[in-house]
Amino acid sequence: MNKEWSLDVLYKGLDDPKYKEDVKKFEGMADFLKNEYENALKLDDVNKVKTLLLAEEEYVGLAYKLFAFTMLYLATNGDDGDAMASRDKLSRIDSGCTGIDTVIRKELGRITNLTALCEKDSLINEYRFLLEENIEKCKHMLSDAEEEMISVMNSYAGNAWGNFRDYMTSNVKLDYEDKELTLTELRNLAYSSDSKVRKAAYEAEIAGYKKFEEAVAFSLNNIKNQVIEIGKRRGYESPLSEALFKSRMKKETLDAMMNAIKEYIPKLRDFYKAKAKALGHKNGLPWYDLYAPTGSFDREFTTEECRDYLIKCFSAFSPDMADLMKEAFDDSWIDFFPKKGKLGGAFDYELLGFGQSRVLTNFDGKFGSVDTLAHELGHAFHDRQIKDQRILNHDYTMPIAETASTFNETFLGHYAMNEADDNAKISLLDSSLTESLQCIIDITSRYIFETNVFEKCQDKFLMPDDLNEIMINAQKETYGDALDPKYMHRYMWACKSHYYSSDLSFYNFPYAFGLLFSQGLYALYLKEGDEFVKKYEKMLHDTVSCSIEDCGKAMGVDLTKPDFWRNSLEIVAKDVEEYCKLTNFR
């Protein structure tokens, strides 16, 4: 089993003649699109739409392949100057295609007889959902000149403010004991096994934000006001309505989920209270101990043992899932170990048109690394389900993107629990619930915070003290008495990058959706068994061409009603009860 992935299915390297040939072809893509557009305008409606769709397929397919290779190569060779130059060259070429690509999409947005066209042509019918969605998107587009100006100016406005915030938070040095650390280095100490280290790091972090709080507050105010003003001109009722549109989600679904969460939060807080007691705290859990370990799961895995463990686990769920995992391990899909120049963290990347994926991880042999691979291979399983979709039908929204990955984590967690002793169960539940409640309780606090910021920033410039107050109030509303009021985190607005995008607002509720949708699906699996699996695979296949509510209908549930969400939350609540029992909380 290779410990590094192979990209040979794309290209053999930057010097591969096929790579150079495709780059040269990509250089002519803008002219190709312009010619196809001009030719299409001379045709009848059916052939015009077909010509434009096929041109878009040619563009997206080539761009995806080139960028996939370059980005994946750089993910494990980040210090390769030639690869960085190639990436930048591809980006410049792609920017040159943006104008004509927008013109084509607007032309497709002018279709008035889509039903008739779909009846006449199978290709158009395969893209029916994409075309319907594009027609709606075009209703929110301004004139070509205005859209171009927004795109150009955003580089010096919203994007620039976001980049400024990233620069400030990644480069500032914060005082910790007798040395200086970056914000990331300091926050990583929250996972230390030493309670004194965790507390000292938290106090240094909170004090350190004073160095750049005003600069980051300026970024947040300007980004949020830009989103509001441009959204109004594009005809969106609010930043939230724009985020829901981009998520293919109804407001009724969001409200049903959030209302169910609010019902269950009092029960879920018991996890933090039990953890506080286990760690010896009397006034609630201090923020610096949110990630403190309790229990222990000492087993370590080689990559081969990890493969065998995952295949054995998921064979009980789906032979197709187990086969995909075997293929991933055996056919060099996975890049396992840390090395100089390799990105941290983990991700899955679909190789569009090849029926394969690539998975980056930084394997350390602990159960967390096994869990990470289960998560990323869940994404790969989703990729596999949509492999026969046409090339433009490979986008699903962020709320649904974490479904298969989180389902895999849930399935693996219950499998591991069945084999663990009590001390290991405490550790497994601690890890699982810490992550789950981040997606439920903390995400709800972030949703409340962002809602309030959008409401207040139109009337006044929100200074750091204003933002701190809004953040603390949101945490009190969600965490309640489970946290020690002396040790909350008033600067989470400066810490989290999710607030600082001019293109993507409310980058929070999708996490709660992904977690709870997958938990609800797991409850259905326990009830339906093998019958569930085929429905699940079909639902994943259709995620690229349907709304979130239609995904629910495919599984026999109504996501606009709170019952499904209550069932999902009940699974989490039962895990909280088990953790409380094992730690003698009651």
Number of DSSP helices (H) and strands (E) in the chain, helices first:
27, 5
List pLDDT tens digits, range 261-317.
999 999 999 999 999 999 999 999 999 999 999 999 889 999 999 999 999 999 999
For the domain bounded by 17-139, which CATH number is listed? 1.20.140
Instruction: Examine the pLDDT at 484 and tell me if it is beyond 80.
Output: yes
Only one residue has tokens 């075009």, namely: 138
Percentage of the chain beyond pLDDT 90 is 88
- Give the separation between CA 101 and CA 37, rounded to whole angstroms: 9
Quickly count: other Cβ atoms within 10 Å of residue 211's Cβ.
14
Q: Are 338 and 367 in contact (CB under 8 A)?
A: no
Instruction: Examine the pLDDT at 149 and tell me if it is beyond 90.
Output: no
The residues, ordered by sequence, that sit 6+ positions from 386 with a Cβ below 8 Å of its Cβ are: 393, 394, 396, 540, 541, 543, 544
Q: Are 417 and 425 in contact (CB under 8 A)?
A: yes
Q: Tell me what pLDDT residue 586 has.
A: 67
User: Where in 422-504 does DSSP place strands (E)?
Assistant: none
- Give the separation between CA 18 and CA 9, rounded to whole angstroms: 11
Please tell us whether the domain made up of 212-297+420-586 is placed in CATH 3.30.1390.10.
no
Instruction: Examine the pLDDT at 449 and tell me if it is beyond 90.
Output: yes
Instruction: Examine the pLDDT at 563 and tell me if it is beyond 80.
Output: yes
Q: Which is nearest to 336 in space by CA: 377, 297, 298, 299?
A: 377
The residues, ordered by sequence, that sit 6+ positions from 465 with a Cβ below 8 Å of its Cβ are: none
Average pLDDT of the chain, as a whole number: 95
Same topology, domains 17-139 and 212-297+420-586? Answer is no
**Domain chopping of the chain, boundaries:** 17-139, 212-297+420-586, 301-403
User: For strand 334-335 and strand 356-360, is the pairing parallel, antiparallel, or unpaired?
Assistant: parallel
Percentage of the chain beyond pLDDT 70 is 100
Q: What global pTM score does this model have?
A: 0.91
List pLDDT tens digits, range 451-471.
999 999 999 999 999 999 999
